[in-house]
Structure 1
């Protein structure tokens, strides 16, 4: 049986209505909600003009493997946090910008990115340390579904 922890993910970018239907199937398979201990996600839970924020407890290894792979394939931006599992791994934030490979950052149980002395020395300057934190805090754009009703934020 897999080690399980709480995890959340924020998705954004532009996709077709067909891709959104695929995405909602993946979200359902992961058992995600828009709030902790909330109702299972439904397609109408998406707030137009905002990124899609999802979460769950008891996530195997703290990763949404199929969902994250799909996002990388479709170049959908995401930021994922997962809690630590005592004696196995620490908390982390993973950021995918839509290009290249995801970036990993150490994080605490409140999703605050942290660095230790070794990382600070490796980065070498306050400017590089700030850039590290800026990369971890990259803003996820709104999730836009092309071909759906007009994309206007809710009032």
Structure 2
């Protein structure tokens, strides 16, 4: 890597660089602890966030689904606040908030990570989606 960088006159910013070993076999991920670039060490990390997706060393996307579920749950709580008991937005308005705010969080870059998550995490995402549908009260689920 260092030779390639020198050949193409590129520099690596060690402070912004993360080392993640991707492999589905846990024993093979433990072999590399750090690499050295120009005398500075880049330490191995279990996860890295790249273009908004959290990648873990086993490519299970557990960290990313947790991140998505937490963020979407906060938006769902906001939607519930809009549908109060003494006053409330109309269901159409709450559905627009869901469509504009919560759904993009769940579906953001989903083609890259959703096919690879386990069934239980997919079920958790679906349950959150159904809660949001019930909150809009348009769909009697």
Q: TM-score, normalised by structure 2?
A: 0.24
Q: Per residue, is there more helix in 1 or in 2?
A: 2
Of structures 1 and 2, the larger Rg is shown by 2
Q: Per residue, is there more strand in 1 or in 2?
A: 1
Q: TM-score, normalised by structure 1?
A: 0.22
Point out which structure has higher relative CO (alpha carbons under 8 A, 6+ apart).
1
